């Protein structure tokens, strides 16, 4: 074989298949074998210390246990309500919207365009399904656009209307009230 042939064979990547899959180096460690002689470093008491509840069989180190100090879930304040980030039910009552900035509308739409959530998705904005869209005022807008969205910040609404455009609020979909459903 000539040197050029061996170079091309070495440059060609090996084909990946079930026969040559292996984890990357350093990502897997051998398990710790405890109780295998004092020379191993984890012999005799197997790393559990001398006496006490933690050395007995069946001892569990509970998740969230902080060695007897007052745990985080008890130290945390338990404020209720949707309006504060530090409130207790951390995400349940927060309203979620997808932000779209005026600079993005300026860059992606022509003057006189009618912008809907479907049109935003087609242009790569507001791509999350079933989450309301809110227009925010970051950036400048100089085109007259008709914007349909679930919400507008005050500054965004003022800038759109100052540029000659209009803001149309889409009512957010409300989950059906199950308390008034007819009984069958």
- Of 116, 125, 118, 173, the residue nearest 147 (C-alpha): 116
> 16, exposed or middle or buried, with CB in 10 Å at 0-12, 13-18, 19+?
exposed
- Residue 152 to residue 9: CA distance in whole angstroms: 60
7 or 113: which carries more pLDDT confidence?
113
Mean pLDDT along residues 110-132? 92
Q: 106 in helix, strand or coil?
A: helix
What would the CATH number be for the domain defined by 98-169? 3.100.10.10
**What are the domain boundaries of the chain?**
98-169
- Of 184, 175, 167, 91, the residue nearest 130 (C-alpha): 175
- Of 135, 69, 71, the residue nearest 106 (C-alpha): 135
86 or 159: which carries more pLDDT confidence?
159
pLDDT band for 60, please (50, 70, 90 cuts): confident
Element (H, E) at 152: strand 151-152
- Residue 184 to residue 177: CA distance in whole angstroms: 16
Q: What is the dihedral of CA 43, 47, 52, 57, to 10 degrees?
A: -70
> Residue 160 pLDDT > 80, yes or no?
yes
Q: What is the pLDDT of residues 101-111, one digit of tens each?
A: 999 999 999 99
What mean pLDDT, rounded, does the chain reach? 84
Residue positions counted in the chain: 184
pLDDT band for 36, please (50, 70, 90 cuts): very high
Mean pLDDT along residues 48-75? 86
């Amino acid at each position: 074989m000539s040197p050029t042939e061996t170079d091309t064979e070495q440059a060609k990547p090996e084909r990946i298949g079930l026969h040559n899959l292996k984890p990357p180096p350093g990502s897997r460690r051998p398990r710790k074998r405890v109780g295998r002689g004092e020379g191993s470093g984890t012999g005799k008491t197997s790393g559990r210390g001398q006496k006490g509840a933690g050395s007995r069989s069946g001892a569990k180190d509970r998740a969230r246990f902080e060695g007897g100090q007052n745990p985080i879930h008890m130290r945390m304040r338990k404020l209720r309500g949707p309006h504060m980030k530090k409130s207790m039910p951390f995400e349940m009552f927060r309203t979620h919207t997808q932000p779209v900035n005026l600079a993005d509308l300026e860059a992606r739409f022509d003057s006189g365009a009618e912008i809907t959530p479907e049109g935003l998705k087609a242009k790569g904005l507001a791509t999350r399904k079933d989450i309301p869209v809110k227009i925010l005022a970051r950036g400048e807008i100089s085109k007259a656009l008709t914007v349909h969205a679930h919400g507008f910040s005050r500054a965004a609404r003022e800038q759109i209307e100052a540029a000659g455009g209009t803001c149309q609020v889409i009512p957010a979909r409300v989950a059906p009230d199950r308390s008034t459903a007819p009984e069958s």
